[in-house]
Chain A
Amino acid sequence: AAGVIQSPRHLIKEKRETATLKCYPIPRHDTVYWYQQGPGQDPQFLISFYEKMQSDKGSIPDRFSAQQFSDYHSELNMSSLELGDSALYFCASSLKGGAGETQYFGPGTRLLVL
C-alpha cells in the first residue's frame, strides 16, 4: 500500500539559511500534519491542514510556515534556521472521519543545521 512520502530525506543547512520540506500524503487522505522530533524527544505537533485550510496550530515558530496545496501535498518552509532546529521532521496524513482519524507517518526528513 502507498505510504506518506517525504522529501528530501536528509538536509544539511547553515545557520540563517532557508529550508523547504515536502510531504505527499497517502492517496485520498485529506489531512496533513507536521511534527518535530528532537534528539531523545517525543514528537511535538507543529501544524495541520484539512482540505487546504489550517486546522490546528501547535508550537510552530513564527519563522516557519506551511501550506497544503490543491493536490493535497504540503510544504513546510523554515527560514532563518537556528542550530536548535536540527531535528527529525515528520509528516503524517489521515482521512477525515476515517477509523480514529489514524495518522500514518512518513519516514521523516532529518535536518541538520550547522
Chain B
Amino acid sequence: AQTVTQSQPEMSVQEAETVTLSCTYDTSESNYYLFWYKQPPSRQMILVIRQEAYKQQNATENRFSVNFQKAAKSFSLKISDSQLGDTAMYFCALKETSGSRLTFGEGTQLTVNP
C-alpha cells in the first residue's frame, strides 16, 4: 500500500526567506506522480506543483521548487522569497499510475511571519 509521511507538523519562516518542507513516501510501483497542495484558512485545496517519477529533472513553479530523490523516496518542497500569503497547510500527495486515488501525508502547517 502507498504511504506518505510528513514529519514536520508545523514550521515557521520570516517573510522573504526560504523554507523547505519534507515529505517521504513509499510505493511498490516504479511509475507514479507526486504533488504538493496547499490549503489556506479558506480550506480550498490548491495545487502547488507536480512531479512525474520518470522525470529526473526537479519541477519548478515560480518561487516553488522540489527536490525529488527517487532512490530515497523523498520529495521536499522549497519555497523561496516567502510571502504572507504562503501561510497555509501544505500536503504532500502520491498517485500511483495503476490507481486513481491520491494518498496524502499528514500535512505541515507553515506560518510566514512579517
Contact = CB atoms under 8 A, between A and B. Distances in A.
Interface of A: 31, 33, 35, 37, 42-43, 45, 48, 50, 55-56, 58, 88, 90, 92, 99-105, 107-108
Interface of B: 33, 35, 37, 42-47, 50, 52, 91, 95, 99-107
Given A100-B33, A100-B50, A107 B101 contact: no
A55 B99 CA distance: 8
Contacts of B52: 100
A103 B46 CA distance: 10
A102 B100 contact: no
The main secondary structure of chain A at its interface with chain B is: strand
Contacts, number: 56
A72 to B, nearest CB: 15
Contacts of A37: 43
Contact of A108 (B44, B50, B103, B105): B44
Contacts of B95: 100-101, 103
Contacts of A90: 45
Given A100-B50, A100-B95, A42 B104 contact: yes
A50 B99 CA distance: 12
A45 B50 contact: no
16 contacts: A31-B100, A33-B101, A45-B102, A50-B100, A56-B99, A92-B102, A99-B50, A100-B33, A100-B35, A100-B50, A100-B52, A101-B33, A105-B44, A105-B46, A107-B42, A108-B45
B106 A42 contact: yes
B100 A48 contact: yes
Contacts of B47: 102, 104-105
Contact of B100 (A42, A56, A99, A100): A56
Contacts of B43: 37, 88, 108
Nearest to B104: A42
A80 B104 CA distance: 28
Contacts of A42: 91, 104-107
B45 A105 contact: yes
A103 B107 CA distance: 18
